[in-house]
A and B are shown apart, each in its own frame.
Chain A
Amino acid sequence: MAVPLAFFGLFFAYPVASIVGRGLKTDEGWQFGRIGEVLTRPDIAGVLWFTTWQALASTVLTLLIALPGAYVFARFEFPGKQLLRAVVTVPFVLPTVVVGTAFLALLGRGGLMDESMGVRLDTTVWAILLAHVFFNYAVIVRTVGGLWAQLDPRQEEAARVLGAGRFAAWRRVTLPALAPSVAAASLMVFLFTFSSFGVVLILGGPAYSTLEVEVYRQTAQLLDLPTAAVLTMVQFAAIGGILAVHAWTVRRRETALRLVDPGRTTHRPRGWAQRTLLGGVLATIGLLIVAPLAVLVERSFDAPGGYGFGFYRALQDAGAGGGTFLVPPLEAIWNSLQYALAATAIALFIGGLAAAALTRRAGTFVRGFDALLMLPLGVSAVTVGFGFLITLDEPPLDLRTSWILVPLAQALVGVPFVVRTMLPVLRAVDGRLREAAAVLGASPLRAWREVDLPLVRRALLIAAGFAFAVSLGEFGATVFIARPDQPTLPVAVARLLGRAGEMNYGQAMAMSTILMLVCAVSLLVLERLRPDKTSGEF
């Protein structure tokens, strides 16, 4: 408990409080009058309203589209499942600039939808919502699906034997067991879309603006710290409200569940209904996730003089130009992986400790701590980055130009994922098992290792995958934090896109494809990391 608290205090609460404080405190003392002043501005009210409703709509839409997917991944066995699970997570790592490009190619003028149906969705709210689903599909599938796969289907079967209908059995047995993880996943999606930045900018056009965009403009462009401070506090208040509602509705409904090995709960789809469901989910994934990704891949091969590896070859010669601008892609991959590994390690360490602490205790304080851990998801990267700048500036913590600052910032976003993925599973572990181990003379650590770890290993891996993916594609904080020039893949993509000329555009697409590949491969490797070979899951 102490370590995660210290970590959050130092790398989150303290920097953010400092930057907000700087905005509200002038030489004449605190300027709380500024708060009312900013809030009554009609444009700010409009921004707040749009931010909230688009986040709600995105969350509902993501749930509707992704829950069947979670079920299919949890219960069915089909060829290529592992690969597909990695593929649905790929959107998570793509820089929004690239996603915007892919979506415009699908939904924009002359895009696929336009040619086939005459429908154009760019610069509409629909484009924003669909892109949010694209980004967050994996959140639902992985967090809910992860737990679903470990629920014992025999409980539902028992209910059926006792005369419950198919739906009633699901509603009374499975749904209550899943509810905490569904709620947790929805919460994450909501926080993500609430603080959406790039998607709204690119797909919504300049007419739509979220709080996040407004904070960025006020801080990074106009240096109007008072306004930015008020907006950050509004964001805090909104997120605090959401978290309170979440805590109140869940009200610790996590009960001890009988978790079984996921390998035992999957089966090949039987009967037409299950096959249709599987087909429907696969079609959804194909349209919503694979198609935009395929557009990028197609463009990366569409080199002058016919399809081929022309752009990839050009990437290899990037070093030949001799500038500091272009890095050979191998170097960018290596940079990205280093950052991601460090960020994942930090996030797992901090998040694991926090989740363990939260399992052991209950009470208001703990709930507050739980909420605190979620806050970084909803606070803008620019606030955190600028906060770092004015707080971490003295030895021994003069980290402003240090390499470690980037993974630290990324881990802030990774920790909530780790906690949210592990907590439902940890809470579901029957405490009596631990007690039994203790009675038999095991130390708390040993009891944890022998009892909890085997059960939560899967959740741990899923959490690690998330933390890794977040870090790999994270662009916001990385951009605001000064770093010695070691561009990561997303940064390199953005740079290439920022220059004119066919070769730059093509290389940006090739670099995005490499990023997707690195992400998919890393996730596949992670999924196969098994400390011991006891479970025959694959």
Chain B
Amino acid sequence: MSTTKKIAGAALAAALGVTTLSACGGDAEDKTAGASDAPKSKTVTLVSHDSFNVTDTVLKEFEQQSGYTVKVLKSGDAGAALNQEILTKGSPRGDVFFGVDNTLLSRALDNGIFTPYEAKGLADVKPEYVLDKEHRVTPIDSGDICVNYDKAYFADKKIAPPQTLDDLIKPEYKNLLVTENAATSSPGLGFLLASVGKYGDEGWKDYWSKLKANGVEVVDGWEQAYNERFSGSAGGKKAKGDRPLVVSYASSPPVEVLYGEPQPAEAPTGVATGTCFRQIEFAGLLKGAKNEEGGKALVDFLVSKKFQEDMPLQMFVNPVTKDAALPELFTKHGVVVEKPENVAPETIAKNREQWVKAWTSLVVK
């Protein structure tokens, strides 16, 4: 197999002049064929989904202190990126993978793509986030998927905005909520899981029947729900969105403030704190990493105070360490979700597909 690959590859590379083409684009690959006796590599590669983000200066500081150069590879959304790692198990494209969340954690662990590693600074991580006792993955950030409401709408109508999942099926909130397709969108799935967490494996279907009877609208993705249909967001106002309730994130109101022009004194939207599902994102050292030492240093860096405090304004998520301070934007305009709904990762892995199927035939069809 591999010899035919090599021969075909060499012949083709010669025929197409790929070598010359690739020389003029991007950085030259270091062609150490993963040999363990190779000299200590100076490059460490982080594989992630498209939302990963860090301030340049913070990353540069890590590079200076550790002596490594960090290369970031992004490949699609969280699900697609993880599945690519599972497919390339044993010959990974990088050293560390960031972006496995608790809805996908079991799939990642069952496929054995990570090497256990206890990060320096793990002691500072809040214990409730450490879901894997073998430390194959390290928690990095958390965020809540919650219903957001348009403050102006409810003030105008003199109705109190809904606060809990139970509120959403009350008649005064008829035809107000827009959510995302649980089959293709991660907030959509999160909201479905919130209802599973609250009403149990059977009760959630009953809840969604009532929600449907109460006029919930389902669109495909978050962009459409939030920027087109929701009346409280900047995009939705322009698009004349007429749904004052949307499934989004607990961090959305601070983001609305941050990117408002001029910045409003108060967020135009609020969060219904009794409707939330908590997402936790993890990073892990990949099995078969070319640069294991560098990978370990990178995982340490991801739970370091510096990175943890940089995250909120870069990825709009919450830190997981005890001593990381939140930026003022979050303390002022954000909310603390006391009791998010939760479903164990292995339960999610086992039932995810049938839940989504049942949800689709119940709500969409």
Contacts and interface: CB of A to CB of B under 8 A. Distances in A.
Interface of A: 2-3, 6-7, 9-10, 22, 97, 100-101, 104-105, 108-110, 201-202, 205-207, 213, 217, 219-224, 299, 302-305, 310, 314, 321-325, 338, 342, 345-346, 349, 382, 386, 389-391, 393-398, 400-404, 479-486, 491, 494-495, 497-506
Contacts of B72: 324, 484-485
A396 B11 contact: no
Contact of B234 (A206, A220, A502): A502
A342 B25 contact: yes
A483 B75 contact: yes
Given A323-B54, A394-B2, A485-B74, A400 B222 contact: no
B235 A502 contact: yes
A494 B74 CA distance: 14
Given A324-B56, A500-B233, A482 B228 contact: no
A220 B5 CA distance: 26
Contact of A486 (B26, B94, B316): B26
A220 B79 contact: yes
B76 interface: yes
Contacts of B227: 101, 497, 505
18 contacts: A10-B9, A110-B239, A201-B221, A202-B221, A205-B218, A205-B219, A206-B220, A299-B238, A324-B59, A342-B21, A345-B21, A346-B21, A501-B258, A501-B259, A501-B260, A502-B256, A503-B234, A505-B233
Nearest to B189: A221
B259 A502 contact: yes
Contacts of A110: 239-240, 242
Interface stretch (B85-93, B154-162, B168-176, B278-286): B85-93
Nearest 10 A/B pairs, CB to CB: A501-B259, A502-B234, A403-B26, A110-B240, A482-B75, A397-B9, A503-B259, A220-B80, A505-B235, A325-B53
A139 B22 CA distance: 31
B16 A3 contact: yes
B86 A223 contact: yes
Interface stretch (B43-51, B113-121, B130-138): B43-51
Contact of A500 (B56, B74, B75, B256): B256
A201 B223 CA distance: 12
B260 to A, nearest CB: 6
A217 B50 contact: no
B224 interface: yes
A206 to B, nearest CB: 4
B12 A6 contact: yes
A327 B84 CA distance: 26
Given A305-B261, A482-B75, A498 B223 contact: yes
Contact of A6 (B11, B27, B221, B360): B11
A207 B87 contact: no
A221 B352 CA distance: 11
Given A220-B79, A484-B73, A495 B88 contact: no
B76 A402 contact: no
Contact of A401 (B9, B29, B86): B29
B240 A220 contact: no
B266 interface: no
A213 B221 CA distance: 13
Interface string B207-246: 0000000000011111110111000011100111010000
Interface residues of B, number: 86
Nearest to A207: B364
Contacts of A22: 87
A398 to B, nearest CB: 7
B211 to A, nearest CB: 15
B317 to A, nearest CB: 12
A401 B365 contact: no
A382 B26 CA distance: 23
Contacts of A498: 51, 222-223
B314 interface: yes
A332 to B, nearest CB: 14
Contacts of A104: 224, 228, 239
Contacts of A349: 16
Nearest to A298: B238
Given A108-B228, A479-B50, A397 B13 contact: yes
A500 B250 CA distance: 11
Interface in B248-281: 248-249, 252, 255-256, 258-262
B123 interface: no
Among B13, B73, B365: residue with most chain A CB under 10 A: B73
A35 B274 CA distance: 44
A506 B256 CA distance: 13
Given A220-B83, A221-B79, A393-B91, A484 B27 contact: yes
Contact of B83 (A97, A219, A391, A497): A219
Contacts of A321: 55
A126 B164 CA distance: 38
Nearest to B89: A390
B83 A500 contact: no
B240 A390 contact: no
A505 B80 contact: no
B87 A505 contact: no
